[in-house]
Amino acid sequence: MLLLKCAIFLTVITSLLGEGCDKNGIIIYEDLGCTPHYDEGNDCPSKYTCEGLEPSSTSCYFQGKAYQDGEPVEDDLLSRSCNVGCFCSVEEKPGFVCAILDCPEWLGVRIEPGCYRNYTLENCCSVGEICPPFDQIEKCVVDGEEYREGEMFYVEKSCLNCVCRKGFKGKFEEPFCTRRKCGQQLRYADKIERHCAPFYGVDSDNDVVCCPEVDLFILADGTEGGESEAEADSCKFGEMSFKVGQEFEKFMFADNYGKTHEKVKCKCVTPPLMKCIKG
Ligand SMILES: *[C@@H]1O[C@H](CO)[C@@H](O)[C@H](O)[C@H]1NC(C)=O
């Protein structure tokens, strides 16, 4: 029994920190509710299987679950991705419609002088203010920086969101830290269905990547090469497939926001999505 408990505990920690696998761009698969598959002797997933990557005319997909027209997404599945009040609408093409979330802090609402905002891991917006006296307040020291109870902090080279709270002993685990949620399927169902590739604004294959850069996806224009016959365990990009390890580059690439990128390098690292970086 004790052994079992430890095993579960260890799994939680390694999965929280991503154990070096976040450089492969895996958090988007967690976000999509995909199932990881492992090759023997490799700590990182070799591929994922995902529900809802293929176009559907009748359902919306979120975290591996199909939603029918008008069906709402439970708010507690959403909060950390800063989305609220989302429901599936199939009117033109299936996709989610969400309410606009406006945190007071984004709107420039002031707080009492001397106070600071209180955050939790469960909520996107702050949940209140913490005011003096601060003598009962926990302090967390991370990478030489001190945070007060209720303050958010990020852990370098990880995809964790953390909040300082009572009982923190320097371990980046629940209930202090949690893996990020990107919520891509709520806003970019069409990009995902068209087998676009997430773009991360990093330079090296070894950089940790979390949610795609400003929600940018690289769209296929047919000039990227690849194979038209989809092989098993390959990455799908537009209409084409790329084997693990295969890559292509684009130069002076104009994205869907009209910004030009000098160079974009896309590689099949962990199927079924390509992973694009600045390169
Ligand atoms: C911050 O908010 C949480 C959740 O509402 C609450 O439990 C906690 O006591 C608050 N922290 C402080 C220091 O007031």
Q: Does residue 215 have a pLDDT over 70?
A: no
| Residue 136 alpha carbon, nearest atom of ligand 1 | 13
Determine if ligand 1 sits within 6 Å of the CB of residue 126: no
pLDDT band at 216 (very low <50, low <70, confident <90, very high): confident
Q: Does residue 225 have a pLDDT over 70?
A: yes
Ligand 1 pocket: which of 115, 116, 126, 127 to mutate (most atoms within 8 A of CB): 127
- 266 class by beta-carbon count within 10 Å (0-12 exposed, 13-18 middle, 19+ buried): buried
pLDDT band at 73 (very low <50, low <70, confident <90, very high): very high
Q: What is the pLDDT of residue 18?
A: 58
Lowest mean pLDDT among 123-127, 209-213, 273-277: 209-213
Please say whether the beta carbons of 172 and 186 come within 8 A.
Answer: no
Q: What is the pLDDT of residue 10?
A: 40
Determine if ligand 1 sits within 6 Å of the CB of residue 118: yes
Q: 104 alpha carbon to ligand 1 midpoint, in Å?
A: 17
Distance of alpha carbon 218 from the chain centroid: 16
* Tokens, residue 74: 């439970």
Q: What is the pLDDT of residue 184?
A: 85
Q: What is the pLDDT of residue 1?
A: 39
Please, what is the average pLDDT of the chain? 88
Alpha helix positions (H), 122-258: 184-187, 189-193
pLDDT band at 16 (very low <50, low <70, confident <90, very high): low
Mean pLDDT of 122-143: 94
- Sign of dihedral through CA atoms 116, 120, 126, 130? negative
Q: 158 alpha carbon to ligand 1 midpoint, in Å?
A: 25
Q: 151 alpha carbon to ligand 1 midpoint, in Å?
A: 11
Mean pLDDT of 258-276: 92
Ligand 1 pocket: which of 117, 120, 135, 168 to mutate (most atoms within 8 A of CB): 120
Radius of gyration of the CA atoms of the chain, in A: 20
pLDDT band at 219 (very low <50, low <70, confident <90, very high): confident
Determine if ligand 1 sits within 6 Å of the CB of residue 127: yes
The whole-angstrom separation of Cα 190 and Cα 93 is 8
Q: Does residue 214 have a pLDDT over 70?
A: no
Determine if ligand 1 sits within 6 Å of the CB of residue 123: no
Stated pTM of the model: 0.84
How many residues belong to the chain? 279
Mean pLDDT of 22-43: 93
The whole-angstrom separation of Cα 225 and Cα 124 is 41
Report the half-sphere exposure of 256 (CA within 13 A, side-chain side). Answer: 15
Q: Does residue 278 have a pLDDT over 50?
A: yes
Please say whether the beta carbons of 89 and 67 come within 8 A.
Answer: no
Lowest mean pLDDT among 64-73, 179-188, 240-249, 253-262: 253-262
